[in-house]
Amino acid sequence: MTVADEYSATAPLLPRASEEWSTTTLESPHHDFTDSNIDDDSQKAPPQGILPLNFQRVVQRNGITGTFVVDLDLQIPEELLAPISLSNPGERGRQNLFLQASNNVFNADVWTRRSQPSTSSELRKAAVTVRSTSSSYDLLQNELRLHIGSGTSCNLVIYTQSNLSLAIPSDLVGPVTLNVDSNSIYYSPSIRKRLITFGEEDGKRYCFLGDMKRENYTSRDAWQGSSISVTIAKSWGLGKLHMYALGEANPRPLIPRPPTEDSTESTCCVVV
């Protein structure tokens, strides 16, 4: 990558006080440093015709493609819930949404929402884990678009062994941990402007998206807002991470992969 590249693969380290720590020009805690030109659809309703679910678990040997709407107010009888695998290192107890493509990739839109009105300012947090273990070659790419509805937040955990394109709300604020063995990470302009990297070693980056001081952030355990953890394990293609905001162009789009017979549409959702 050259200096002339439009997008940078490196987020700024600790900023000067006049840049990230200033609070005099901020209008709200969830719209700091947001580009008003980005057409972010996070606050729109999920697509019609898709039934919301909760505690959904989809594990397939082939690819997973679809739109998943998580309703945090939806109560599901225990007898209807799929059993979790205690031997699976990716399952940390019952998740509001768990997706795993064992021999292929995922291409998913994930929406969080609440169906019941709330008088409390406290956010309901969705636990979402998405995994793929395909490491065939460079052209394979996972795609995830996260849409966070009003009154909700999301703890998103992603594990893969191949390329990942991740789109998030343009106003998302919270801690971000990136563990990318290849250290090939590309940010769009809006992400690069808002992401503070506090530490980096051997492809692992400890970051915060937005104004940590304004949000009075102290720890993940105490944080009500969203958080993101991405792991791209070393594989044949030394997987790359492309991170950008919804409505923004992918900073380094990969060559589209052709459809394969192995790609399976999830039967638990309406496929886009």
Strands 63-71 and 106-113: parallel
For residue 233, is it within any domain? yes
Confidence of residue 6 (pLDDT cuts 50, 70, 90): very low
Model confidence over 7-25: pLDDT tens digits?
444 444 433 222 222 222 2
267 pLDDT higher than 50: no
Q: What is the pLDDT of residue 26?
A: 27
Q: What total number of domains does the chain contain?
A: 1
In a domain, 10, yes or no: no
What's the domain range around 177? 56-265
Q: Which of 45-59, 186-200, 239-253 has the lowest mean pLDDT?
A: 239-253
**pLDDT for 171-186, tens place per residue?**
999 999 999 988 889 9
Q: pTM of the entire structure?
A: 0.79
- Quote the pLDDT of residue 186: 94
Q: How confident is the model at residue 138 (pLDDT cuts 50, 70, 90)?
A: low
Mean pLDDT lowest among 4-8, 143-147, 156-160, 248-252: 4-8
Q: Which strands sit side by side in the sheet containing 185-187, from one edge to the other?
A: 185-187, 241-245, 163-168, 141-148, 106-113, 63-71, 263-265
Q: Lowest mean pLDDT: which of 102-106, 119-123, 223-227, 266-270? A: 266-270
Strand pairing partners for 145?
Answer: 109, 167
In this predicted structure, what is the pLDDT of residue 104? 86
- Please check whether residue 235 lies inside any domain of the structure: yes
Q: Per-residue confidence at 206, pLDDT binned at 50, 70, 90?
A: very high
Mean pLDDT of 228-254: 84
**Is residue 195 one of the residues assigned to a domain?**
yes
Residue 73 lies in a domain: yes
With cut-offs at 50, 70 and 90, classify the pLDDT of residue 167: very high
Residue 190 gets which letter from DSSP? H
In the predicted model, what is the mean pLDDT of residues 98-126? 89
Alpha-carbon distance values, 64 to 16, 41, 98, 193, 253 (Å)? 43, 23, 11, 32, 20
- Which among 196, 192, 218 is positioned nearest to 208, based on CA atoms? 196
Q: Is 95 among the domain residues?
A: yes
| Structural domain includes residue 7 | no
Q: 32 in a domain, yes or no? A: no
- Give the whole-angstrom CA distance, residue 85 versus residue 42: 32
